[in-house]
Amino acid sequence: MAILSTKDLKKVYGSGENEVHALAGVNFQVEKGEFVAIVGTSGSGKSTLLHMLGGLDRPTSGGVTVDGKEIFTLKDEALTIFRRRKIGFVFQNYNLVPVLNVYENILLPVQLDGGSPDQTYIKDIINTLGLSSKLGNLPNNLSGGQQQRVAIARALASKPAIILADEPTGNLDSKTSQDVLSLLKVTGQKFSQTIVMITHNEAIAQMADRVIRIEDGKITG
Amino acid sequence: MNVSNRKIIRRLSIASFKAAKIRNIITVAAIALTTILFTVLFTVGMSIKHGFEQSNFRQVGGYSHGGFKYLTKDQFEELKDDPLIKEYGKRIFCGMPEKEPFHKSHVEVSYCDENTAKWMFLEPIEGRLPKEGTGEAATDLRVLSLLGVEPVIGNKFTMTFLVDGEETTETFTLCGYWDYDDITVANHVLLPESRTQEIFEKLGTQGEDGMTSFRNLNVMFKNASNIEENMNTILERHGYQSEGLDQGDNYIRTGVNWGYMSAQFEDSLDISTVLALAAVMLLIIFTGYLIIYNIFQISVSNDVRFYGLLKTIGTTGRQIKRIISMQAFLLSALGIPIGLVLGYGVGVLMTGIVVSRLDGIELTYSVSPVIFLGASLFSLVTVWLSCRKPRKMAAKISPVEAVRYTENSVKRMPKRRRSLSESEIPQKGASILRMAMANLGRNKSKTVITVISMSFAVVILNITFILANGFDMDKYLNRVVADFIIAQAPYFQASTFDKTGILPEEVVSQIEALDGVKGGRTYQKTFDAQEFVSEEWVRKQNGKYGSAEQVDGYVEMLEKVGDMRADRVQLYGMEDFVLDKLPVIEGDLSKLKEGGNYVAAVYSDDDYGNLHEDSHWAKLGDKITIRYVKEYEYFNPETGEIYGEDEDLSESNKPYRTRAKIYEDKAYEVAALVTVPGKISYRYYGADEFVMGADTFKRDSGTSDILYYAFDCEDDKVAQVEQWMQDFAGGDDSMYDYESRKSEEEEFYGFRNMFVMVGSGAALIVGMVGILNFLNAILTGIMARKREFAGLQSVGMTGKQLNQMLITEGMVFAGSSVVITLILTLVMGPLASDVLEGMFWFFSYHLTVTPILVVAPVFLAIGAVIPLFSYHYVAKRSVVERLREAE
């Protein structure tokens, strides 16, 4: 059963002669537990697609279904709440909250939702990602790779339906990239997560179970 | 919303709160300043209200809410425990001395329990109240000095006084004394209850007068509202009434303390005061809003990424709003207490300055919780209002923005820029000024609000200056008609209505004997003189002060003579010196001086010298009659029966009228129409007035009571005479008082200084707010652009150029405020001039921009220095470090 599917997803920026079709009707599905990479060049529309999948931005037309829910039928507040429960994000620039320490950053989505964290599960994630000695640190004191591992831990913490990763290794050197990616894949399997990763790097994309290519706002293969 | 997520929201807001140190310091300062303004306003307001009430209470002679009068022992015991009564006090009236040395004083001998004594301000400064079963008594220093007894505890004193008509002489041992308060009418001698009972037994007192030996029950209720209603409720509960004896024997007389009544009256009716207060409040809220809003607005727009990020992770708009509210609350919790403490200090100072300019209000400092609660509340409201928009803004931030933008930058760029052809590319490239202007355009609302906030203080300063400058001493002193004027002290007190004190001839002759003095007496007659006027005129004159029924009642009481009514008239008998000071409207005063049967009719005018044409009925050349009454009689208007002299008409409820029995009518011709300047008039409006020459007045009225003596003094003797007057009549213990040109000048400067102090105080605080706002705008502007500056420097902008750009930005801020203030002043000035001249009759409007021009260089200097220092702080680290710095 598909955990994520899009239906004729379109996004148009501007109007008239300035009209840009960032997404020109995108249809695809991701099965539960899959690790999918979406590959495209700069300007291909892959970031826009990721924003749509994550409910960060609304499409001009078409829809996205996550875990059986047509997400754009939700109002802003409800969508935010749906997002923090069902979708975990990993960004290129980590986007950790600078004023919270590592542990607090990881727990943030769960606590924002008012839930009490599943301590054994969280501990498991922390150990798997090798963060146990860094829990009290502030993000600024960590290396890029460490920050990205915190971001992955945060994404996993709320046991989301899918994890969306946007160029997760874009700011990292190749050695660290490999490490982070392996960790992402391993944890994904271990905690049976569905992962959708966006990248422009073919080599990195090859680590995924399936590669979807996008160009000029359309799926090409 | 779940309760359990509050914890993380709190954690988030405290954490991000700690990260914004500079913003916090500035915000706390801003909130404290706003609170200072509110606290000062509340302190001055509450202190004046309190002082006003206190003066009233002292005039009334106590501050109990009310009293049940002349109760029997049983009635007293029955009423005192009523649940409506919170506290009660007991008083038993015993007697009053009438003979020397008390023939001119009002002294009451009575028993008062502790509560009553306290409520009547009878609190010993030395010693204590008398003990039961002893021969002790307590009294005030004036009674002691009249008796010629040294104020030493244990001294004996003897008084003779009337107890219900019976004379008795008693000796007491002084056990305590207090200061005499000249506002309170009565002096008191307090005895123990046991002693009063002994006296009553000895004299066989039955209380024939309805007062002596009976008990007064003074009461305090929970609060001062509905005093009269509460008293009547209590009476009803116990089967009594306060309507009158004719309503039944169950009558109990009650008294409500009008000190509370008039205070409430003031509160509820003085709309202009309420409006003025509301305007000042709004002004303060606005001042606070300008800065607090600006700070939060800037803070939120600098933290767009942070809030966007929180959103991406799944923080809802409402949660973000809560984060900001919580920070605002934390900042208030720090700023408000600081503001309350500082504000109360400033408020106490200001109260002193303001109250010393107000007549008849005691200087007290209120410590009412209303001050602190009110100021805190209004400050919180200001903070809340200021945060509303920034909160909304933060809650609306789109998560995509946070992901996309790595730099705090402009929200909306011009839609399209025309592309330039090669020849059009400007040679000079980006100029420093253009860059500075563009930078100010990035956050337009920040720029505009900062400029307004800075202008605000200068506007207030300038208004203060215009006010102080416009108070025209020449105009003010125009109303001073003589160099000196001396009279009994009450004549000069605005709050006293009994101005009939008589200045002894000996005082006048002493002054006349001084070197270089030339003056004249004015004699007074305010009662037992009548004029004959139409009913219509009486109605017209009194209609301003009472309802139609009241006026009807008044007219009815006046004796009818032909188709006219005999109404009271006030007469002046003026010596030539004073006559010469009167502005003549029509006719001339020489006939008055010659001593024939001539009078001048007194018209009134307003402070601006506009004559009230219909303020008197007499016209030039009119023949008028004045009736001097020696004795009145009372009669029944229905039966014509003439009442005997002993009959107590106020108690018996029989209808009665008054008419002159023995009198003399004199005819005069109106030789002039004049006004009597306020300074040499009776100083209150009482009745129609006529002026006579002094000789005619003394001959016809048979009186020679001097109201005041006014005199001029040769220039080189002024200082000497001023000193003499100061010694003779200037002291607090003197029965006399005087006004001089010098004391008027001092009054003028005092009045002006009050405005200068209050105005510049306000300008100072508001100015600090403005500069703080500016500091914040510049600082945050530089901090947020750290990376950008590094970028600029990396492509070749020198530190000097960067500094130039920042200074230009600061100067544009400061310069715009100056320009805006100038425009405001020039536009608003003419409008303000009418309002101000309408408010102060001695005001002459002069447009001035001096304060703005003085402040301008200061502002420009601040505009240059603040950016310089802020940048210096940033520039400590190398360009590369700053470029690398992660957000």
Alpha-carbon dihedral B594, B595, B598, B603, rounded to 10 degrees: 80
Rounded Cα distance, B651 and B638, in Å? 18
- How many residue contacts between A and B have a Cβ separation below 8 Å? 87
User: Quick check: B840 pLDDT over 60?
Assistant: yes
The CA distances from residue B197 to B171, B213, B218, B617, in Å, are 15, 8, 20, 59
Rounded to whole angstroms, how far apart are CA atoms B92 and B197? 10
Task: With CA atoms as reference, report the closest residue to B850 among B475, B471, B468.
Answer: B468
Closest chain B residue to the Cα of A92, Cα to Cα:
B403
Cβ-contact B517, B721 below 8 angstroms = yes
Residue range B191-200: mean pLDDT, rounded: 91
pLDDT, residue B826, reads 86
Chain A residues touching B402 at Cβ < 8 A:
95
Buried b (16+ CB within 10 A) or exposed e, B301-329: bbbbbbbbbbbbbbbbbebbbbbbbbbbe
Phi then psi for residue B250, to 5 deg, are -80, 25
Disruptive mutation site among A56, A58, A103, A156 for chain B (greatest number of B CBs within 10 Å): A56
**For chain B, what's the residue count?**
887
Q: Do A112 and B4 touch (CB under 8 A)?
A: no
Flag whether pLDDT at B437 surpasses 50. Answer: yes
Cis peptide before B101 (omega within 30 of 0): yes
Position B647 scores a pLDDT of 67
> Tens of pLDDT along B159-186?
999 888 888 999 999 999 988 776 666 7
Q: Residue B878: what pLDDT? A: 63
Measure in Å the smallest separation between the Cα of B15 and chain A Cα atoms.
6
Beta strands in B726-859 (DSSP E): 736-740
Of B12, B318, B406, the CB nearest to A77: B318
Does pLDDT of B335 surpass 90? Answer: yes
A7-16, B274-283, B417-426, B430-439 — which one is most confidently predicted on average?
A7-16
Q: What is the pLDDT of residues B231-282, one digit of tens each?
A: 888 988 888 888 777 777 788 888 888 777 654 544 444 566 677 778 888 8
When the pLDDT of each residue in chain B is averaged and rounded to a whole number, the result is 82
Closest CA to A79 of B13, B399, B393: B399
ipTM above 0.90, yes or no: no
Q: How far apart are CA B557 and CA B699, in angstroms?
A: 29
CA B103/CA B158 separation, integer angstroms: 16
Give the per-residue pLDDT at B397: 82
Q: What is the pLDDT of residue B528?
A: 87
Question: CB contact, 8 Å: B887 with chain A?
Answer: yes
Cβ atoms of residues B653 and B246 within 8 Å:
yes
Cα–Cα distance measured from residue B473 to residue B813, given in angstroms and rounded to the nearest whole number: 39
Q: Does B1 touch chain A (CB under 8 A)?
A: yes
Segment B120-137 shows an average pLDDT of 89
| Nearest chain B CA: its distance from A65 CA (Å) | 18
Whole-angstrom distance, CA of residue B498 vs CA of residue B493: 10
pLDDT at A147 over 60: yes
| C-alpha to C-alpha distance for A151 and A102, rounded to whole angstroms | 9
Average pLDDT rounded to a whole number, residues B863-867: 86
User: Which of these, B343, B386, B362, B301, lies nearest to B27 by C-alpha position?
Assistant: B386
Angle of helix B741-784 versus helix B799-839 axis, rounded to 10: 150
The whole-angstrom separation of Cα B849 and Cα B29 is 30
Structural domain of A173: 2-219
Name which of A56, A93, A111 is nearest B400 (Cβ-Cβ).
A56
Q: Shortest Cα distance from A157 to chain B (angstroms)?
A: 11
pLDDT at B648: 65
Percentage of chain B surpassing pLDDT 70? 89
Pick from B593, B617, B590, B592: nearest CA to B604: B617
Distance of residue B404 Cα from the nearest chain A Cα, in angstroms: 10
Structure tokens at B544: 């301003």
- Asked if B218 and B67 touch (Cβ cutoff 8 Å), the reply is yes
* Residue written as token pair 């306003």: B41
Choice between B365 and B873, residue whose per-residue pLDDT is larger: B365
What is the rounded CA–CA span in Å between residue B866 and residue B229? 64
In this model, does residue B304 exceed pLDDT 50?
yes
Which helix (H) or strand (E) segment holds residue B634: the answer is: strand B623-635
Per-residue pLDDT at B411: 42
State pLDDT tens for residues A57-91: 889 999 999 999 899 998 888 888 888 888 888 88
- 319-348 in B: which are within 8 Å (CB) of A? 319
Contacts of B400 in chain A (CB under 8 A): 51, 56-57
Q: What average pLDDT does this structure show over B133-151? A: 88
Q: Say if residues B47 and B354 touch (Cβ distance below 8 Å).
A: no
Which B positions 374-413 lie with beta carbon below 8 A of chain A? 398-400, 402-403, 406
List B598's β-bridge partners, or say none: B669
Integer Cα distance of B345 and B348 in angstroms: 5
The residue among B17, B26, B13, B771 whose CA lies nearest residue B335 is: B26
The conformational region for residue B560 under phi > 0 = left, psi -120 to 50 = alpha, else beta, is beta
Q: Do B402 and A95 touch (CB under 8 A)?
A: yes
CA pair distance B726, B415, nearest whole angstrom: 80
The answer on pLDDT for B868 being more than 70 is yes
Q: Give the mean model confidence (pLDDT) for residues A109-136.
A: 86
Instruction: Tell me which chain B residues have a C-beta less than 8 angstroms from the C-beta of A155.
Output: none
Q: Which residue has the higher pLDDT, B333 or B801?
A: B333
Q: Which of B410-419, B494-503, B809-818 has the highest mean pLDDT?
A: B809-818
CB contact at 8 A, B181 and B144: no
**Mean pLDDT throughout B80-104?**
85
SS3 (DSSP) at A74: coil
CB B12 within 8 A of CB B323: yes
Task: Please list the residues that pair with A2 across neighbouring strands.
Answer: A31
A-chain CB neighbours of B9 within 8 Å are: 112
Q: Do A77 and B317 touch (CB under 8 A)?
A: yes
Rounded CA gap, A40 and A48, in Å? 12
CATH code of the domain in which A167 resides: 3.40.50.300
- What would the mean pLDDT of A201-208 be, rounded to a whole number? 87
DSSP secondary-structure letter at B746?
Answer: H
The length of chain A is 221
What dihedral angle (degrees, nearest 10) is formed by the CA atoms of B589, B591, B596, B599?
-30
Instruction: Find the mean pLDDT for residues B679-691.
Output: 84
Q: Search chain B and give the residue with CA nearest A141.
A: B886
At B610, is the secondary structure helix, strand, or coil?
coil
**What percent of chain B has a predicted confidence (pLDDT) above 90?**
16
Burial of A206 (0-12, 13-18, 19+ CB in 10 A): exposed
* CA distance, residue A42 to nearest chain B CA (Å): 14
Model pLDDT for residues B756-784, shown as the tens digit of each residue:
888 888 888 888 888 888 888 888 888 77
Q: Is the pLDDT confidence value at B495 over 50? A: no
**Of the listed ranges B122-126, B131-135, B729-733, the one predicted with least confidence:** B729-733
Both tokens assigned to B439:
């930078």
Strand partners, A196: A36, A164
**Residues of A in Cβ contact (< 8 Å) with B12:** 97, 99-100, 108
What pLDDT score was predicted for residue B867? 85
Query: Which of residues B550 and B530 earns the better pLDDT score?
Result: B530
Residues of A in contact with B313 (CB under 8 A): 84, 89, 95, 108-109, 112, 154
Q: Which residues contact B279 (CB under 8 A, 6 or more apart)?
A: none
- The minimum CA-CA distance between B780 and chain A, rounded to whole Å, is 18
Contact B412, B316 (CB under 8 A): no
pLDDT band at B748 (very low <50, low <70, confident <90, very high): confident
pLDDT tier, B794 (very low <50, low <70, confident <90, very high otherwise): low
> How does DSSP classify residue B471?
B
Question: Residue written as tokens 């727009």?
Answer: B301
**DSSP per position, B652-708:** H----EEEEEEEEEEEEEEEEEEE--GGGS-SS--SEEEEEEHHHHHHHH----EEE
Q: How many domains does chain A have?
A: 1
Which chain A residue shows the shortest CA-CA distance from B11? A100
Among B793, B813, B795, CA closest to B803: B793
Q: Compute the average pLDDT of residues B603-610.
A: 81
Q: What is the pLDDT, as a whole number, of residue B13?
A: 79
Q: Please report, for residues B443, B455, B812, the alpha-carbon distance to residue B448 in angstroms, rounded to integers and kept in the order given.
A: 9, 11, 11
**Core vs surface per residue A85-113: b (16+ CB within 10 A) or e:** bbbbbbbbbbbbbbbbbbbbbbbbbbbbb
Q: Are strands A194-199 and A162-166 parallel, antiparallel or unpaired?
A: parallel
Closest C-alpha to B214, from B160, B164, B165, B162: B164
Distances (CA, A) of B523 to A145, B531, B567, B630, B668: 104, 18, 20, 18, 18
Of B4, B312, B318, the CB nearest to A89: B312
Under 8 Å between Cβ of B224 and B195: no
Half-sphere exposure of A160 (CA within 13 A, CB side): 33
**Residue-level pLDDT at B98:** 79
- Pairing relation of β-strands B623-635 and B611-612? unpaired
